[in-house]
Amino acid sequence: MKTDKEVSREVTEKITKLEALRLRARKRIKQITVAAIMVGFLIPATVHFVTTEELNHPLQYAPPTSETPFDPDLIPEDSTETFYYGDGVEQVEV
């Protein structure tokens, strides 16, 4: 049978191991939290800017220039929005 000293040593070893595991778990939680903040705030903000302002509505936000003249065929039939015409001086209500 084990002596009290041996039992005590084994208990201490278990405590040390668990302490190390707990520290590692805390560190991991910190890393996950930072990653979650990145995914939750920074990345959606970037994606939103690119998709809505630049990719999906080029006509609405980028006035036509002499290189890219206004083309009324591009305007959807049911649209009620305002579009630039020419160099952006004249406008047309659709």
Partner 1 sequence: MQDEGIALYRRFLDGDEQALEALISLYRRGLLRFIYGYVHDEALAEDLLQETFVALYFRRTFKERGDASFKTYLYKVARNKSLNAIKKRKRKKEVSLEAITDDSPSQESELQAFVYGADAHETIEEKERRQAVQRALLRLKAEYREVIILRYFDDLSPERIAQITKRKTKQVYNLLARGKTALKEELKTEGVGYENG
Report the sign of the C-alpha dihedral through residues 28, 13, 11, 8, in that order.
Answer: negative
Query: What's the min distance (Å) between Cβ of 18 and partner 1?
Result: 7
Alpha helices (runs of H) in the chain, residue ranges in sequence order: 4-37, 43-48, 58-61
Query: What is the rounded CA–CA span in Å between residue 70 and residue 59?
Result: 9
* Among 7-15, 25-33, 52-60, 75-83, the segment contacting partner 1 (CB under 8 A): 7-15
Subset of 8-37 contacting partner 1 (CB under 8 A): 8, 10-12, 14-15, 18
Q: Give the interface with partner 1 as residue ranges (CB under 8 A).
A: 1-2, 4-5, 7-8, 10-12, 14-15, 18
